[in-house]
Structure 1
Amino acid sequence: MLVTYKHKTITFFKLLVCNLIFFAGNAYGQNRNQLTPDPKAVVQSGNARFTVLTDQLVRLQWGQSASYDNRASLVVVNRKLPVPAFSTRTENEWFYLKTRKIELAYKINSGVFDSTNLKIRFLNADTVSWKPGQKQKFNLKGTARTLDGQDGEMNLYSNQKLQLEDGILSRDGWFFLDDSQSLRLDHSDWPWVTAPGTPKLDWYFMAYGDDYKSALLDFSKIAGQVPMLPRYVFGYWWSRYWSYSDNELRELVQNLKRFDVPTDVLVIDMDWHTKGWTGYTWNKNLFPDPANFLKWTKDNHLKTTLNLHPADGIQPTEERYHDFAAYIKADSAQKKVIPFEVSNKTFMRGLFDIVLRPIEKAGVDFWWLDWQQWTNDNKIPRLSNTWWLNYTFFTDKAMHSQNRPLLYHRWGGLGNHRYQIGFSGDTFMSWESLAYEPYFTSTASNVLYSYWSHDIGGHILKGNEKGVEPELYTRWLQYGGFSPIMRTHSTKNAAIKKEIWNFAPEYATAQHDAIRLRYALVPYIYTMSRKTFETGIGLCRPMYYDYAKQPEAYSYKEEYMFGDNMLIRPVTTPSKDGFAAVKVWLPKGNDWYEWSTGTLLKGGQVLERSFSINEYPVYVKAGSVIPMYNDQIQNLDNNPNNLILGIFPGGSGNFQVYEDNGNNKNYENQFAETNIVSRIDGNEQIVNIAPAVGRYQGIAERKKIKIKLFGTQPPLKVSVNGKPLQFNPDNQDGSWNYDGGNLCLNILLPEQSCKVARQLRITYNEAPGMLTTAGLVEKFKRLSMITAVLKNSDNGNDGIYIPKNLGIAEETNRLLSYHPMNFANYIENFERCYKLIPEEIQLLKQVSEQERKNLIKLLPPVQ
């Protein structure tokens, strides 16, 4: 038995190691089996060699056959792909290679590729053709290493506009990569940087026209997939450059809980350690017992990341200085600084194994690597320190952690999409910075860099500002809820306070709602992150991915798609008279539901819209199904056993909800999906919830599901699998109720096995129409605002008189919740009263004439 047990233990260990190697290799270009293409994909004409990678992507090499190099480069990590159908022929001294999408022509025995002997055309668009040396005219750009010093597009230190690097996508319709002189990775156990290959030319060319999504997918096939993030990453991150102590952080977290602010990540800046910028030894004045501090973070479901600036090497004062020196065989007796050297494999192994691993094992989940020192390595001048730090930190984590590897650092260049989260740096706190970030973030998707994390609210005060401007910060936080990572941060300045309890109620409420909405949308966001892994398409992506043929998709740069079903137009200017104005372009092809106002708008138009501080311009595609969590969730450690399915008006729709363990490495083949289909059939709406397909560790076998049908009237009847449900206003399982303020029908299904299909039939008095999607939700809100102004008027009013028609109209939403069966009568009465409100306000004596005019302006027009 003992021998068998040992054998099983060794076998398990081997399997674990193999799994780690497979994970690291499959996702990050360390598996040499991926690097040599299928021989069937390769054709040769003299010294010219062509590898058909996809039907629109080809590798072009020129040189002696013995010199062809199939090692991974820093960008290209996979060439063994399914071979697409293609044909070859020779004609009039030209060699032709043709796929379904491109045709390549090379003049036989004509030497090194140039503009006279090589040409490629895209068969799906006559206007797309290419020759060597041809320059792009309309590149759609990629991203940049940092936003340090940026005030919007301008840098206040250099007084220069930020120049984004070129991206993969261009309106020219093609992409060219010269990989000839790129550094390579060797075939060691931890693939390491080495010299470039010897062939004279090693090129990649892709033609795609305006099918941008196919270009991103094909690039991800050769450059590696964007790995899945742990689920907790999509929660709220608290971060501040501050000399926090153990006591202070405990108090902070307790206050966040008191204000019902869910939090998943605690970011601790560089004061956690001793000795200035670079350090690896805990500051015991602030954290007297780091192990117990980290145990407390785990007990409170907080993931912890610490800031590192590794540029100054290993100081003699570090706790592990002598152990590290012994590891790299340095003389520690002289107590000299051991210089940092990212290209030195022994140094980096020692940094991880000797210095950082003990801290990780104590409970640090991932590192915030904040490299802003010299650009390239001292020993390999062409090696970017940022690029190689990303690679080493990420792949070390992949090989030594059972959880998903994660790194939070800066963009290092093409190929860095494999290393996930970007730290964009220290922007100025200004409306200009807020206005630039949506464009910057979505455009980074053009190089697959999908997960920028910004300092929400900005980092540095600008000009004579004395502290945080409440409206600016609130709008920035609202944008943060619809950005890849929701992380607040700022510099060490006592005047910069971003804790929710430092703001007046109107701002604090809006901030709380923004964070809560972010958590509500995590099932949708997480499903989209799976799509990023599978397709390369980012969560925040430019409008031209979906609407390439509509000119506005290229000019409305602040707008972006948030996943497949939401269009976001951030508020980037201050309000006037309590409302912020935005100009929004709604693409044609479908209608759009303005969520905060309850208005269904036609696509194919540009509109001026206005929003109060607790509203945000979120436009949901008509008919969409959006999975959500309820407002009880406090962290994202586990999948809760309840789910909300938000179904939006305007037509039919479907969604496939993705779930997995949330933090293990088995997500490639261990996950579950649940398909939801909603369709309108006359005066009936049918919602089908299919049984969950698939399994993963920790799967919830049973779930409570709540259906929220926005912008709809109360039903005549509701049934589930043929069984009728009754109206019950008390949120009882197996019943329905109606939210009059949001014109939302809520159907509460009892907990049931996820393997059981459910069909809901909702029958209305008539087919769904415009009555409930014409801005009635916004009217209810504005009436409440008017009522509050009157009750708080200080012009001698006793605060209790509300005009009759205003009072009736303002309370209609509550009556709809209480007695939804009287919907038609209440709405008819509401419309009658609403028309009379301006006249009533004009007759009020307790407010001034100007105040009366302002109140009337608050009323949305009668439609």
Structure 2
Amino acid sequence: MPNHLKFSSEPYANSEAVIQGDHYRFTILTPELIRMEYSEQGIFEDRATQTVLNRHFPLPKFQLIDHGNGLELITDRLHLIYNLQPFSRHGLSVRVRNDSGHLMSVWNYGDTGHDLGGTARTLDNADGAIPLEHGLLSRSGYTVVDDSRSLLLEEDGRVEPRAQEGLDLYFFGYGHEYLNCLKDFYQLCGRTPLLPRYALGNWWSRYYRYSEQEYKVLMERFEQEQIPFSVAVMDMDWHLVDIDPQYGSGWTGYTWNKELFPNPQGFLAWLHDKGLRVTLNVHPADGVRAFEEPYLAIAAEMELDPAKGDVVEFDITDPKFLQAYFKFLHHPLEEEGVDFWWIDWQQGGVTKTPGLDPLWMLNHYHYLDSGRRGNRRLTFSRYAGLGSHRYPVGFSGDTIVTWESLDFQPYFTANAANAGYGWWSHDIGGHMLGYLDDELALRWVQFGVFSPILRLHSSASPFNSKEPWRFNKIAEEVMKDCLRLRHRLLPYLYTMNRYASRESLPLVRPMYYHHAEQNEAYEVPNEYYFGTELITCPITQPVNPKTGVAEFKAWLPAGLWIDFFTGRVYDGGRKLSLYRNLESIPVLAKAGAIIPMTDLTEYTASVANPEQLEIRVFAGANGSFQLWEDGGDTEEDQDDQWCHTEISLEWGETAIFKILPARGNTTVVPKRRTWRLTFVGFVDTLVKVCVGGVEIATETSYDVTSHTLTVITPKLSVIEALNVTIANARIAVNAVEVEVFTLLNRAQIHFQLKEQIYRLVQEMTTPTGALASLVSLELEPSLYGALCEILAARI
């Protein structure tokens, strides 16, 4: 097996952490994590498996009590009791203590607990909610991962079945310390890799029979419209699909359709010149047939007689075929300019090796092979069970274009973190069937901005495509703004990319990850944390036709929260309904949040570390952020490749905002940068900007509507400190009358009612009094709810 198809692992546990008998073995990995094995033959496995790579943890403290006919294992958090017999409900149990040392729950062998669920293999044909597989987290405080059927990974890269049957279980007893559980899961099963920077930009994809010229015209139109893309996805029509029936179907193919793409290498070079990376779709199940260009070479390699035209069967379990598969089918296309592969496996889970899922095998080896040329590894494929987080990005499959499909995706995306799976890529806008609904399309793209990967996709129907200009003017402009916003967010997203890989912190996380003891955090499945600074509440229902707004039933944690788009300030610690028109969704920044963004005032589609940076700073509390940047596509994630910039806000009567000199490998960032500093939720006040202790001239403005103070600096050296002093720093007061007028102005209701409501608000002495008066008007629920949000945002 070639060296680049091997992997690193540390499967052998510390021998002092192992307690073994004739038929059982327990390995204490952490105070909360125990491996539990039972074998009638007394044979136990120490090699890595498809799921588990590393068992060499620091030795935890524990106590062993041997009763002769039973034993007890006690850590700071777990108390295991075992009767030395085959594992049973009455013979094996674990008591779980919480972080305060109090008994939280008792697990008996076979219990499943209150599983919070994980993710699923695919959303193919999903029209709304589908069942989810088990996850790692439970409100009961424990979960068990059964690795008994997982195949073994040999040091030379081969996959082998287990020789003996037995039980191989991992007991996770982390209580409600969900992030700690996830961190140790990544230690056990391998961390989430760092994505290349370009993967976080916009992807264009469509199952459509493009010609080279059509594709170029489309990319140039996007450029003219100033809509940035970083990845060009070519669905299956890049290769021959109309083939002689004697060869079967045209789903599998490795030969360019020269009628559509007469000069493939030149076409790929053109896309690269436009700043786009390219992925091609492959369905490998039908093997290699005689009409394919690489057939003669691979047939000879597999010792088949080309004259007979025998099919080179797809057999991912055959090491010889595996090497030939990459050597003749993929590497030549990569040399032409293909950057990574979309593995579109839909043919089930059976191979010649019992228990081996071909999807897992494809993900594993394609991911390893993708690093062959020295670039960062990347593949694009479906989920194949626990451990799949090692092979990003995930393709969630062909959903139906309906509101029900959209409504399920925020929950599905956030909940995948419970399986350690953080990089789902959905067909944004839905893939097939369904119906045209401009509002649905724009809401899906708004969600896409605040999802792991934004990839527009659709079927081959001539009426189903996601170019913004194919929708009405409102949807078109909103979708364009969304796609630009995604690229503006790249500095923030790339830092979160590092946190996902280094700190075991997925970009998208359910609310209960940070508020585990609050029931409300479990009652908002479509609400989630987006990185360290933001909470996102995607709108997945149509607007009310009378009010022009749609509702999201949210829960805000304690503290102060500020709307990312409007600057409206909210008091947290409560459930409330948030209402938005078509132009935005509720995205809330915590007080003191700092969001680094690309300043696209001077438009560019480049995803490189920008010369013009916007730092969006939110009022109300101290805040800090470390901006991490590197070359974006280096093979290894080494410390010396990174540049980091510390940014902070010291909140007080005089607020101090600082950008410290860039440190580390400053060669990966521009030497000089323009800073657009947008202070959101601040009152209009005086600012003083100093560089190296010397005050400099800046361009300053204030937007009353969004309570945003903007300061634009000239180009400054990145190795100089920037200090901004904000005098009389106070949180802006929500412009209640203005917001109510804006709502009423768009509402499709009687003018007299509008006037009556507005007069009540103008004359109110307190918001509570106004709300009491509004109740008597018996308003339509959506209108009353939207008014309540405005009047009671601050309580």
Listed as ranges, the matches of 1:553-568 within 5 Å are 553-568=521-536
Segments ≥4 residues shifted beyond 4 Å: 63-66, 91-94, 129-132, 721-726, 774-786, 857-863
Q: CA deviation at 1:622?
A: 1.7
Q: Secondary structure at the match of 1:515?
A: helix
**1:571·1:580 contact (CA, 8 Å) conserved in 2?**
no
Give the alignment of 1:523-562 within 5 angstroms: 523-562=491-530
Match of 1:255 in 2: 221
Match of 1:572 in 2: 540
Task: Please state whether the residue corresponding to 2:362 is helix, strand or coil.
Answer: helix
Pairing 1:319–2:290 present? no
Contact preservation (8 Å) 1:725, 1:736: no
Q: Which of 170-179 and 86-95 deviates more?
A: 86-95
Aligned to 2:583: 614
Deviation at residue 298 of structure 1 after TM alignment: 0.8
What is aligned with 2:773? none
Larger displacement relative to structure 2 (448-457 or 195-204): 195-204
Say whether the 8 Å CA contact 2:689–2:722 is kept in structure 1: no
Alpha-carbon distance in 2 for matches of 1:784, 1:741: 16
How far did residue 448 of structure 1 move?
A: 1.2
* Residue among 170, 194, 209 paired with 2:175: 209
Give the match for residue 490 of structure 2.
Answer: 522
1:483 is displaced (CA, Å) by: 0.8
- Cα distance in 2, alignment partners of residues 521 and 97 from structure 1: 48
Asked if 1:360 corresponds to 2:360, the answer is: no
Query: Which residue of 1 is the match for residue 720 of structure 2?
Result: 756
Choose which of 581, 584, 590 in structure 1 pairs with 2:550.
581
Q: Which residue of 1 aligns with 2:260?
A: 286
User: Unpaired runs of 5+ in structure 1?
Assistant: 1-16, 154-161, 727-732, 794-802, 807-829, 836-853
* Counterpart in the other structure of 1:809: none
Judged with a 3 Å threshold, the aligned counterparts in structure 2 of structure 1 residues 68 and 745 are, in CA distance, closer, same or farther, namely same
Residue number in structure 1 paired with 2:59 = 83
Aligned to 1:450: 422
Q: Aligned residue for 1:665?
A: 635
Picking from 476, 479, 482, the partner of 2:447 is 479
Distance 1:550 1:666 in 2: 40
1:605 equivalent in alignment to 2:574? yes
Classify 1:784/1:708 alpha carbon distance in 2 versus 1 (closer, same or farther; 3 Å): farther
Per the alignment, residue 649 of structure 1 pairs with 619
CA shift in 2, pair 1:92/1:273, >3 Å: closer
Name the counterpart of 1:140.
116
Which residue of the other structure, out of 358, 381, 402, is the alignment partner of 1:409?
A: 381
Q: Does 1:424 find its partner at 2:389? A: no
1:687–1:759 CA contact under 8 A, matched in 2: yes
* Paired position in structure 1 for 2:707: 743
**For residues 286-333 of structure 1, what are the alpha-carbon distances to aligned partners after superposition, in whole Å with 9 as ceiling and x for unaligned?**
000101001101111011111101111101000010100111112211
Deviation, 1:55, is 2.3
1:40 is matched with 16
Match of 1:688 in 2: 658
1:4-50, Cα deviation, whole Å (9 max, x unpaired):
xxxxxxxxxxxxx99x85xx76xxxx225x11123333344555433
Contact 1:672 1:695 survives alignment (8 Å): yes
1:633 Cα deviation from its structure 2 partner = 5.1
After TM superposition, give the deviation of residue 723 of structure 1 in Å: 5.5
After superposition, what is the alpha-carbon deviation per residue over 1:806-851, rounded to whole angstroms, capped at 9, x for unaligned? 9xxxxxxxxxxxxxxxxxxxxxxx999xx9xxxxxxxxxxxxxxxx
**Residues 1:242 and 2:230 are matched in the alignment:** no
Write the letter of the residue equivalent to 2:479: Q
Q: Distance in 2 between matches of 1:332 and 1:55?
A: 60
Which residue of 450, 458, 461 corresponds with 1:490? 458
Is 1:713 the counterpart of 2:679? The answer is no
Q: Secondary structure at the match of 1:681?
A: coil
Residue 699 (structure 1) shift: 3.4
What residue identity is the alignment partner of 1:532?
A
Paired with 1:518 and 1:778, the residues of 2 have a C-alpha distance of 27
Decide which moves more: 537-546 or 211-220: 537-546
Query: How far 1:625 moved relative to its partner?
Result: 1.0
Relative distance call for 1:164 and 1:717 in structure 2 (3 A) is closer
Structure ID, larger Rg: 1
* Offset from partner CA, 1:309-368 (integer Å, 9 cap, x none): 111110100001010011111221101222211211211210101111010111101111
User: Do 2:289 and 2:310's aligned partners in 1 also have CA atoms closer than 8 Å?
Assistant: yes
Instruction: Quote the Cα distance in structure 2 between the aligned partners of 1:780 and 1:179.
Output: 60
Partners of 2:287 and 2:314 in 1: CA distance: 4
Equivalent residues in 2 for 1:120-159, closer than 5 Å: 120-124=94-98, 126-131=102-107, 133-153=109-129
Q: CA deviation at 1:117?
A: 3.9
Question: Deviations along 1:663-709, whole A, 9 cap, x unmatched?
Answer: 11232422122222212222x11112223332276333433322210
Q: Tell me, which stretches of 5 or more residues in structure 2 are unaligned?
A: 242-249, 767-782
Whether the 8 Å CA contact 2:407–2:540 is kept in 1: the answer is yes
Q: Is the 8 A contact 1:305 1:364 kept in 2?
A: yes
How far the C-alpha of 1:144 sits from its partner, in A, is 1.1
Q: Write the distance in 2 (CA, Å) between the matches of 1:690 and 1:100.
A: 41
Deviations 1:532-559 (A, max 9, x none): 1124332111111111111121121111
Q: In the TM superposition, what is the alpha-carbon distance from 1:64 to its structure 2 partner?
A: 8.7
Tell me the alpha carbon deviations over residues 445-482 of structure 1, each in whole angstroms, 9 at most, x when there is no partner. Answer: 111111111111111132xx4xx321110111111111
Percent sequence identity is 37
**Within the alignment, does 1:593 sit opposite 2:566 as a pair?**
no
Distance 1:578 1:329 in 2: 71
Residue matched to 1:840: none
Q: Deviations over 1:637-676 (max 9, x none)?
A: 4211232211112222111112121111232422122222
Looking at structure 1, the residues matched to 668 and 732 of structure 2 have their Cα atoms a distance apart, in angstroms, of 43
Contact 2:550–2:581 (CA under 8 A) maintained in structure 1: no
The 3-state SS of whatever aligns with 1:103 is: strand
- 1:800 aligned partner: none
State the distance in 2 between where 1:70 and 1:328 align: 34
The one of 340, 358, 362 equivalent to 1:389 is 362
Q: Give the TM-score normalised by structure 1.
A: 0.82
SS at match of 1:349: helix
Partner residue, 1:844: none
Instruction: Give 1:140's aligned amino acid.
Output: L
After superposition, the C-alpha distances for 1:387-425 in whole angstroms (9 at most, x for unaligned) are 111112111213x12111111111111111111111111
Distance between the aligned counterparts of 1:250 and 1:366, measured in 2? 20
Query: Secondary structure, in 3 states, of the residue corresponding to 1:434?
Result: helix
The answer on whether the counterparts of 2:700 and 2:710 sit within 8 Å (CA) in structure 1 is yes
The DSSP-based 3-state class of the residue aligned with 1:255 is helix
1:746-796 CA distance string (max 9 Å, x none): 1223333333333221112xx40342x45578469669979xx9xxx9xxx
1:60 alignment partner in structure 2: 36
Instruction: Give the deviation of 1:610 after TM superposition.
Output: 2.1
Which residue in 2 is equivalent to 1:99?
75
Report deviation, 1:562: 1.0
- RMSD (Å), alpha carbons: 3.1
The within-5 A match list for 1:182-193 is 182-188=150-156, 191-193=157-159
- Which residue of 2 is the match for residue 509 of structure 1? 477
CA distance in 2, matches of 1:691, 1:780: 45
CA distance in structure 2 between the partners assigned to 1:92 and 1:38 by the alignment: 24
Give, as a single letter, the amino acid of the residue that structure 2 aligns with 1:121: R
The alpha carbon displacement at 1:374 in A equals 3.0
The alpha carbon displacement at 1:67 in A equals 3.2
Cα distance between partner residues in 2 of 1:777 and 1:744: 16
Q: TM-score normalized by structure 2?
A: 0.89
Match of 2:363, SS state, is helix
Aligned residues: 753
Q: Are 1:340 and 2:320 an aligned pair?
A: no
- Which of the residues 220, 235, 249 maps onto 1:269? 235
CA distance in 2, matches of 1:111, 1:92: 12
C-alpha separation in 2, matches of 1:743 and 1:724: 28
The answer on 1:73 being equivalent to 2:49 is yes
